[in-house]
Amino acid sequence: MLKHIVIAAVLAFAAPAMAASSAVPQSMDAVHLTFAPVVKKVAPAVVNVYARSVVQQQVNPLFADPFFQQFFGYSPQMRRRVEQSLGSGVIVGSDGLVLTNNHVIAGASDIVVALSDHREFKAKVVQADPHLDLAVLKIDTKGEKLPTVEFGNSDDLQVGDLVLAIGDPFGVGQTVTMGIVSALARTQGSASDYSFFIQTDAAINPGNSGGALVTTEGKLAGINSSIVSNSGGNIGIGFAIPANLAKRFVESAGHGGMQLAWFGADGQAVTADIAGSLGMSAPAGVLLKSVYPGGPAAQAGLKVGDVVLAVDGYATDDMQSLNYRVAVHKPGDAPSVKVLSGGHVKSVSVKLGEPPAAPHDAATIGGRNPLTGAKVETLSPAVAFELHMDSGAKGVVVTGTTPNTPSSGYGFQAGDIVLGVNGQQIGSVKQLESALNAAGGQWDLVIDRGGSRMRLSVSG
């Protein structure tokens, strides 16, 4: 619990030439600046989140080769190891609803929420999303109403605004730090697939994840999520998930999960070269490189080569910012989109939807082949959208692997797209299974990983 607040005072001394327009402060109010009232209001609603998980660890990693295990019948010995993590959270519902980062509680078997008055409650996960890096927890307050933090409008933030970061860094106890909004719309962070972070120089350290970034009005501006650091400590570059996206996530908790709206197009940031070729005075917007037939963007008249300049009046300078502007809407909403098309700027209304789920074809690969144990799905717009791939991507995508199987041993990763087996183009799970089984002990695979093609040849 924070016992003392450091009071900041700023005294300005004018140069002699400006002495006539300067004045000595006439009262303590003129030199005494404090955020104590804001902290007193918000701090009781910021909590600690303790997560405990049990992991399996192989005793002898020398025998981890999956083919060795398969052909010689070796069963690796495993031992259990308990891991604990510490983070922060924000009470957003007086009935015990707590918002935090997904990475704070991911894989946890036990979660404990500790209030600022040191009371502890076991928590259950109501909703968690690794793509958004957000999670909503629920604690049983036995009817007691808890203090909450009110959501602010993160779109109202400006660079230079003062903000406070409240959390539990390094487990030392609740701590408050002050800084400014250093930048907006940062898309280089890695904690969330919907990268559109508020950057701040308010000190954020390990343990602050999931804590509150608040305005000087005591409203939630964002959820502290990640830092840039070579040492693991604060160097003045911290990122927070904007409150507007977090609010959408909380509102969907307990109602079937957050349904992300689909724009139906993919693109890239406009570079200086692209801007010159389009006759633009400066680089801006997202150049559409694919538009899904019949999707929301196509129905609104958008086409390949158009440039999306803004959504709802907010600039979209890369695909991440466009994704974010769409994500704060629900399917069925129709935001105004500013587009450069054919040399002319126009505004169109795009009615957002949900991506088509067909074909729905998933399986876990069996048999004896390099992909044994891989969980795969035929790519549909819905699957591509979930995995943040191009809407028109084709092939069979790996969504996960089973530990101690050939697929994990050969390093297959979620997001890998199997394009071909022994020269045969692969377009569905059934085609993949048939090609693997007919290979006769020699598999030549073509894999797409993040836009780069790789080949894997295996005999056995």
Q: Which active-site residues does the annotation give?
A: 103, 133, 209
Measured CA to CA, the distance from residue 202 to residue 181 in angstroms comes to 8
Residue 280: how many CB atoms within 10 A of its CB? Answer: 17
Measured CA to CA, the distance from residue 350 to residue 302 in angstroms comes to 9
- Provide Rg for the chain, Cα atoms: 26
Query: What's the DSSP call for residue 63?
Result: G
Alpha-carbon distances of 73 from 12, 60, 64, 195, 365, rounded to whole Å: 78, 15, 12, 45, 20
* φ, ψ at 309 (rounded to 5°): -90, -35
Q: Is the dihedral of CA 410, 416, 421, 427 positive or negative?
A: positive
Residue owning tokens 């487990």:
171
Measured CA to CA, the distance from residue 349 to residue 337 in angstroms comes to 6
**Tokens of residue 199, six digits:** 């950057």
Alpha-carbon distances of 163 from 35, 160, 222, 248, rounded to whole Å: 10, 9, 10, 22
The C-alpha angle with vertex 288 and arms to 284 and 293, in degrees rounded to 5, equals 155
Closest by CA position to 260, among listed 205, 328, 212: 328
Q: How many Cα atoms within 13 Å fall on the side-chain side of residue 89?
A: 35
Q: How many Cα atoms within 13 Å fall on the side-chain side of residue 39?
A: 20
* φ, ψ at 349 (rounded to 5°): -100, 120
Quick one: three-class SS letters along 417-452? EEEEECCEECCCHHHHHHHHHCCCCEEEEEEEECCE
